[in-house]
Amino acid sequence: MSEEEAQRYGGGTGGGGVGALSVDLLGQVLDRVLERRDRKACRLVSRAFARAEAAHRRALRVLRREPLPRLLRAFPALERLDLSACASLDDASLAAALAGADLGTVRQVCLARASGVGWRGLEALVAACPRLEAVDLSHCVGAGDREAAALAAASGLRELNLEKCLGVTDMGLAKVAVGCPRLENLSFKWCREISDIGVDLLVKKCRELRSLDISYLKVSNESLRSISTLEKLEELAMVACSCIDDEGLELLSRGSNSLQSVDVSRCDHVTSQGLASLIDGHSFLQKLYAADSLHEIGQDFLSKLVTLKATLAVLRLDGFEVSSSLLSAIGEGCTNLVEIGLSKCNGVTDEGISSLVACCSYLRTIDLTCCNLVTNNSLDSIADNCKLLECLRLESCSSINEKGLERIASCCPNLKEIDLTDCGVNDEALHHLAKCSELLILKLGLSSSISDKGLGFISSKCGKLIELDLYRSITDDGLAALANGCKKIKLLNLCYCNKITDSGLSHLGALEELTNLELRCLVRITGI
């Protein structure tokens, strides 16, 4: 075998095993290894696999700035680069790392909360990544118009997140609009220096917009007049836009019939009449978020809601005053719902839930947070009718117990998330929930009746858990059981678990995928 062939197949002359396979073939094998720890094992036992991953790796998340230059050179096929957790990253270190690196394949860069990166670093980034299509600069609170202008040089941008870039004004938005006419997804949520003028110019220049988030801006109905001319817009979020009212929704309803998702949550001056006119002009709506906005639901709104029977999949009415008859009408009129949000709604009863779910058998997400009139009878109705249920939020529903949860666990095998915070559940309830082998998120905060025995049930059967909230609810033995059985946990809340000691915390070393750990007020811990 020639030296050239040896290099091609990833092994030396006369080599066998995986070293005899081509880098392309080994790359395809690695693409099918889904677990991160298994991919790491392949790299460690075989140089051929290490070379193959270097040649085929598409995504990289960097935690420290020091190895960044070496990593960018080691992976020439990167498409997605996440620097959001790269501590102390600034303009100088970013520019130095990018210098000389071949990043012609990079399409997406995440710099969320990278507050040390300014316009100089962004200029270097844009110059080094000629095929850049998506940038996340969210929560970089110091970013302003100069940073926006630097990003505007990336003419191929299709996605841009400027959420909480507090220094961005109409001028910065204008730079982006002129420089990036192919933008499809844009968020400038919380950029409160942007006005109707900026929105109007954006709409005139970026006609390909499909998703737009203007939440928490001080814009008026005039912005909705401009937005209504976007012929391809599918998603619009305007949470807490206090200057928008029914007149603005009426203007929006006269535009293109392309909208599929609208969020008017916390818009204090929007009424059900305005929403009715919006629905009248957008007959293909799939998602409607109106949490904490409407004081009452009028008949006009309900009658228009029925016209969305074939398309509406998500309806959030959190914070409303509801009745059993209203929930029955929603159930009969919106039979294809997959998500319903009734968090903190007054008037939610077993009768109302029963009539709702009897007609909505496709529901996958049900949020009943703080609906304290709900009992096991509601859980029975959900179990009987919603076999596809994946997410059930029951925080502060103090009238449910292990009997209702037994029905849910037995009838809803696809359950992936359940919130039982402050519900008073016990070990028997966890014994039933352990049947839900697909469970990914479990919240048990303020559950004083559970013990290590109950957590042992969960750890023995729910090995797929990635998020667990045990606020005030665990000891060292329970932590040992969890570390032994739930090795995929990424987020763990142990706040105020005042029986945990240093010995208990030592078990966390077995959780190799743990990324978020909350440890407030652990009085028996001597040091971390």
Q: What is the pLDDT of residue 394?
A: 97
DSSP secondary structure, 78-120, as one string: --EEE-TT-BT--HHHHHHHHTT---TT--EEE-TT-TT--HH
Q: What is the pLDDT of residue 15?
A: 46
Task: Identify the top-confidence range among 13-22, 151-160, 466-475, 485-494.
Answer: 151-160
Of 272, 296, 312, the one marking the end of a domain is: 312
Read off the pLDDT of each residue in 239-256 and give the average, rounded to a whole number: 94
What's the half-sphere exposure (Cβ side, CA atoms, 13 Å) at 95? 12
Q: Specify the amino acid at residue 59.
A: A
Encoded tokens for 238: 């305007």
Give a yes or no: residue 37 inside a domain: no
Nearest to 497 by CA among 518, 512, 482: 518
pLDDT surpassing 90 at residue 413: yes
Domain coverage including residue 110: 57-190
Residues 257 and 181 in one domain: no
Q: What is the pLDDT of residue 524?
A: 81
Q: In sequence order, what are the residues at sequence separation of 6 or more whose Cβ sits closer than 8 angstroms to the Cβ of residue 335?
A: 309, 359, 360, 362
Encoded tokens for 429: 């309830």
Read off the pLDDT of each residue in 69-89 and give the average, rounded to a whole number: 92
Q: What is the pLDDT of residue 285?
A: 95
Chain segment 214-247, per-residue pLDDT in tens: 999 999 999 999 999 999 999 999 999 999 999 9
Give a yes or no: residue 233 inside a domain: yes
pLDDT surpassing 60 at residue 9: no
Give a yes or no: residue 422 inside a domain: no
Q: H or E element: which one contains 287?
A: strand 287-289
Residues 166 and 266 in one domain: no
Q: Specify the amino acid at residue 360.
A: C
DSSP 8-state secondary structure symbol assigned to residue 334: -
Three-class DSSP category at 186: strand
Q: Are strands 467-469 and 287-289 parallel, antiparallel or unpaired?
A: unpaired
Give a yes or no: residue 528 inside a domain: no
Q: What is the pLDDT of residue 13?
A: 38
pTM of the predicted protein model = 0.88
Q: What is the pLDDT of residue 8?
A: 43
- The rounded radius of gyration (Å) of the Cα atoms in the chain is 26
Give the confidence band of 6 by pLDDT, cuts at 50, 70, 90.
very low
Q: What is the pLDDT of residue 334?
A: 93
Residues 73 and 180 in one domain: yes
Give the confidence band of 288 by pLDDT, cuts at 50, 70, 90.
very high
Chain segment 494-520, per-residue pLDDT in tens: 998 888 888 888 888 889 889 899 988
What is the C-alpha to C-alpha distance for residues 524 and 160, in angstroms, rounded to an integer?
45
Chain segment 349-401, per-residue pLDDT in tens: 999 999 999 999 999 999 999 999 999 999 999 999 999 999 999 999 999 99
What is the C-alpha to C-alpha distance for residues 210 and 201, in angstroms, rounded to an integer?
16
489 near 464, Cβ under 8 Å? no
Give a yes or no: residue 126 inside a domain: yes
Residues 86 and 175 in one domain: yes
Q: Which residues pair with 391 in a beta bridge?
A: 365, 417
- What distances in angstroms separate CA 280 from CA 101, 259, 379, 502, one per listed residue? 53, 12, 35, 61
pLDDT surpassing 70 at residue 303: yes
Three-class DSSP category at 491: strand
CATH for 221: 3.80.10.10
Residues 220 and 308 in one domain: yes
pLDDT surpassing 70 at residue 160: yes
Give the confidence band of 527 by pLDDT, cuts at 50, 70, 90.
low
Residues 159 and 217 in one domain: no
Q: In sequence order, what are the residues at sequence separation of 6 or more whose Cβ sits closer than 8 angstroms to the Cβ of residue 299?
A: none
Read off the pLDDT of each residue in 440-455 and give the average, rounded to a whole number: 90
Question: How many domains would you assign to the chain?
Answer: 2
pLDDT surpassing 60 at residue 53: yes
Residues 67 and 175 in one domain: yes
Of 259, 288, 312, the one marking the end of a domain is: 312
Of 254, 288, 312, the one marking the end of a domain is: 312
Lowest-pLDDT choice from 8-17, 185-194, 417-426, 456-465: 8-17
What is the C-alpha to C-alpha distance for residues 283 and 288, in angstroms, rounded to an integer?
12
Q: What is the pLDDT of residue 189?
A: 97
Residues 182 and 228 in one domain: no
Read off the pLDDT of each residue in 72-97 and give the average, rounded to a whole number: 93
Read off the pLDDT of each residue in 318-328 and give the average, rounded to a whole number: 92
Three-class DSSP category at 477: helix
Mean pLDDT score across all residues of the chain: 90
Residues 81 and 181 in one domain: yes
Task: Please tell me the total number of residues recorded for the chain in this structure.
Answer: 528
What is the C-alpha to C-alpha distance for residues 234 and 217, in angstroms, rounded to an integer?
20
Share of the chain above pLDDT 70, in %: 94
Give a yes or no: residue 283 inside a domain: yes
Residues 173 and 222 in one domain: no
pLDDT surpassing 90 at residue 324: yes
Give a yes or no: residue 269 inside a domain: yes
What is the C-alpha to C-alpha distance for residues 230 and 421, in angstroms, rounded to an integer?
43
Residues 70 and 162 in one domain: yes
Give a yes or no: residue 128 inside a domain: yes
Q: What is the pLDDT of residue 11?
A: 43
DSSP 8-state secondary structure symbol assigned to residue 35: -
pLDDT surpassing 50 at residue 212: yes
What is the C-alpha to C-alpha distance for residues 316 and 324, in angstroms, rounded to an integer?
16
Token pair 């990003």: residue? 151
Residues 77 and 152 in one domain: yes
